[in-house]
Amino acid sequence: MTVAFGAALVVPAVALIVHGPDKPETWATAAAGLAVITSVISAWSSRRVVELQEDAQKPNPYPAFDFTSRYCLVLLRVKNTGGTPAHNVSLEWNTELKDHKGKTIGFTKTGERPAISVLLPGESISQIIGPTSQFFKAHPDEEYTGIIAFQDSSRHRCRRTFRLDGRSHSGSYDEEATRTLYELQKIPKQLDAITKVVEKLAPNHSW
């Protein structure tokens, strides 16, 4: 395509020099060159669209710290944002990630066994790291890097680097929706307690 584009620019210029601007051949050559340039640009655009569509269909698992799914808890979540399944997913950490009990976590391989057999498009899996407050105390300045290894549907092996940094979340508040759902779970117990008190005060009534 690059050669055709260059030729389409050079040929009209040569025709202008050889024949002059007053010759019909010059303008016919220029029109042909413009047609070639238009075709090349259209082909480039079509090729780029195809490349983007192919990239969107590839599996794309990636790890992230999740501060919002569970109230006052930090999770390590791996999600496949690609368009096809990711197989045999494992993380290789440059610095070990540990939970609040000191146990090493992070979806690492066990021998030859991958940590995650398959992640479908849009699917995610998580591990609990620990309470939010303890996370920032235990990891005040840490950033975590490593490699996520996986296979596509053709069993082609892929390895990509990742970087996680929880410091950007250290000054943020928990999601109110998560806290609200947590508090709403307490309502049935409170209603039961109120019912028992009322029954004691008025034992002859049925509730």
The pTM assigned to this predicted structure is 0.60
- Residue 89 belongs to what domain range? 61-184
Asked if 52 and 69 sit in the same domain, the reply is: no
Asked if 66 and 149 sit in the same domain, the reply is: yes
Asked if 69 and 110 sit in the same domain, the reply is: yes
Q: Give the pLDDT of the chain (207 residues) as one tens digit per residue.
A: 554 445 545 555 555 555 555 656 655 666 666 676 677 676 666 666 555 556 567 999 999 999 888 888 999 999 999 999 999 999 999 988 888 888 888 998 887 788 899 999 999 999 999 998 788 777 766 789 999 999 999 999 999 999 998 776 665 544 555 555 666 677 777 777 777 777 777 666 555
Asked if 85 and 36 sit in the same domain, the reply is: no
Asked if 30 and 77 sit in the same domain, the reply is: no
Asked if 47 and 94 sit in the same domain, the reply is: no
pLDDT of 190: 73
pLDDT of 63: 96
Q: Are 151 and 86 in contact (CB under 8 A)?
A: yes
Which of 34, 57, 80 marks a domain boundary?
57
pLDDT of 167: 73
Domains: count for the chain = 2
Asked if 136 and 65 sit in the same domain, the reply is: yes
d(CA 19, CA 14) in angstroms, rounded, equals 8
Asked if 137 and 167 sit in the same domain, the reply is: yes
Asked if 91 and 40 sit in the same domain, the reply is: no
d(CA 123, CA 59) in angstroms, rounded, equals 11
Asked if 45 and 74 sit in the same domain, the reply is: no
Closest CA to 75 of 121, 16, 135: 135
The torsion region of residue 135 among left (phi > 0), alpha (psi -120 to 50) and beta comes to: alpha
**Cα–Cα–Cα angle for 22, 24, 25, nearest 5°?**
110
| Any domain includes 190 | no
Residue 180 has a CB neighbour count (10 Å cut-off) of 10
Instruction: Determine the angle formed by the axes of helices 24-57 and 2-19, rounding to 10 degrees.
Output: 170
pLDDT of 137: 78
